[in-house]
Structure 1
């Protein structure tokens, strides 16, 4: 089977940053499904792994943690799927990635794809949907009937685009999203944000202009370190902060006097450690598919490249590293 990966960590401009290779089709373990991949999306985690994770000598490191496709074979203990099922999922960091013709995934972190979506539209959803869902409901533990403000820093990105929609459809929270460009601000509004503010300007003043002195929940998706002082100031006493990025050394002492609870969201935790509740990712993706088919949740696909080629993945990585993408980038096989 054809795969796209890398042998050494390089800047994306290097001709060997991503290469094409041939490998044998893997055989499913007891709990695995073998998927004939139809489309994948490219995420910031792909670029981080490419730049920071050196493969073992002679090993081709395969990236990719979002896929949709058709079940080709099933393991001996699989009972959630059958051959021919159309599925979508986000995979595991402990396994080879999805940038390949065939891919193995544990059935507990996959779900049947939304019937109303194409494979490329579905491939844009899993990783960001899992991250947004877990951040809102497992980490922040927002309550459906609450009407408190939720501030989403980085609302136009992949996770922010889903978080806005989930909060709008499943809660009564007042949703404030941040975006710095006109196109990204309009994107957030269309997805359901009640208020959109510019994170490149004084956000405190902007919130005050909307009659808000503080917010109960903060979901920080990008540049958390740069925004820390603002978050300390704006978050309500006994509020909750959830972050997904990597701010480096992060002094949380400024949150002590407000008794702020700080949560990390890393959607690979359940699959990486095979936690007892690993199947929750199957369950939440099933709910996401139902919301999509009920027209309550939209795919956030915004760019599509066609073909399993190193050149296409390089273009996608370049776009992500520019920091100016809106929505998701998908590679259709």
Structure 2
């Protein structure tokens, strides 16, 4: 394989530069994916600017992508070559901002035939985050839950909750009443100050501080799920309302999850991809840029907050 193009991190400038890399060697359980599309997430431009993991010069950022398996390790079934997959990679390894990416075979999702690479690449981070948030609370139908914020994650989460039988209210300044009704959402609050009832569970995608302000709106034995940040200490005194506190970090599974954890997450991810393909779960069509326009794509994601995808020919 000829040297392939990558976007490399520059520590001094906190930016990226286009470069090239040689064909990587694969461990026994790894696969090489030829990326057909690359998803841009807020974590990408945030980490490029701040570099909290101390990436060295030459690191390849990016966590989400979709493409075709072109090579497999010695312990991987060779029939996987040619399979269409999507993935959510680790921030600690060379990522998706490249023409090829090395992945653990257990950490990819097989794509439905009718799902495009462009849409698939936009999904792993928000979709798997939404699923992990959903799994934090007991499955009890007809309980009232509140979803705060309506970005890519909470759009998916709200639909998952509705289809599981929960009564879903949303706090959003932008979600239209018409769209809310079409998704099965009961009511939309424009501001948190309008909330006048208590909930079995609240899912907050704003901040840990904001989530803490929402805890008084929970019923006894309720659940607060922080999709952004976390609540460091319980709000209530011990042995009072006995609230359950939850935090979400999909990427942490790369460091703390085992084979069974990943198998379960990828199975659930594949089931959601099927539902997205058949239209039973609605998602926004991403804005696309070419591989050479990576810097423009990152800026677009940051300034517009719209889902942004890089396409490769």
* Structure 2 length-normalised TM: 0.88
Distance 2:87 2:105 in 1: 9
Residues 52 and 118 (structure 1), Cα distance of their counterparts in 2 relative to 1, 3 Å cut: same
Corresponding residue for residue 13 of structure 1: none
Aligned match for 1:331, one of 287, 290, 310: 310
CA contact (8 A) 1:116 1:292 kept: no
Aligned match for 1:244, one of 227, 238, 241: 227
Q: Which moves more between the two structures, 293-302 or 44-53?
A: 293-302
State the shift of 1:190 in Å.
4.6
Matched, 1:300 2:284: yes
Aligned match for 1:47, one of 45, 49, 55: 45
Aligned match for 1:259, one of 242, 247, 261: 242
Distance 2:51 2:152 in 1: 23
Aligned match for 2:294, one of 286, 289, 313: 313
Summarize the alignment of residues 182-221 of structure 1 with structure 2, pairs less than 5 Å apart. 188-198=180-190, 201=191, 203-205=192-194, 207-208=195-196, 213-221=197-205
Distance 2:22 2:250 in 1: 28
State the shift of 1:237 in Å.
1.1
Summarize the alignment of residues 76-87 of structure 1 with structure 2, pairs less than 5 Å apart. 76-79=74-77, 82-87=80-85
Distance 1:27 1:191 in 2: 46
CA contact (8 A) 1:124 1:299 kept: no
Residues 105 and 149 (structure 1), Cα distance of their counterparts in 2 relative to 1, 3 Å cut: same
The C-alpha deviation readout for 1:2-23, integer Å capped at 9, x for no partner, is 111321165xxxxx62221111
State the shift of 1:93 in Å.
2.3
State the shift of 1:223 in Å.
2.7
CA contact (8 A) 1:8 1:55 kept: no
Structure 2: tracts of 5 or more residues without a match: none
CA contact (8 A) 2:32 2:70 kept: yes
Distance 1:274 1:121 in 2: 27
Matched, 1:36 2:34: yes
CA RMSD for the aligned pairs? 2.5
Corresponding residue for residue 8 of structure 2: 5
Number of residue pairs the alignment of both structures matches: 307
Residues 151 and 269 (structure 1), Cα distance of their counterparts in 2 relative to 1, 3 Å cut: same
SS at match of 2:158: helix
Corresponding residue for residue 235 of structure 1: 218
Q: Bigger relative contact order, structure 1 or 2, given CA contacts below 8 A and separation 6+?
A: 1
Distance 1:161 1:57 in 2: 32
CA contact (8 A) 1:238 1:260 kept: yes
Distance 1:77 1:132 in 2: 32
CA contact (8 A) 1:164 1:188 kept: no
State the shift of 1:204 in Å.
4.3
* Structure 1 length-normalised TM: 0.83
Residues 204 and 255 (structure 1), Cα distance of their counterparts in 2 relative to 1, 3 Å cut: farther
Residues 267 and 56 (structure 1), Cα distance of their counterparts in 2 relative to 1, 3 Å cut: closer
State the shift of 1:81 in Å.
5.8
Structure 1: tracts of 5 or more residues without a match: 11-15
Residues 291 and 223 (structure 1), Cα distance of their counterparts in 2 relative to 1, 3 Å cut: same
The C-alpha deviation readout for 1:288-312, integer Å capped at 9, x for no partner, is 122223321233333222x112xx3
Residues 150 and 78 (structure 1), Cα distance of their counterparts in 2 relative to 1, 3 Å cut: farther
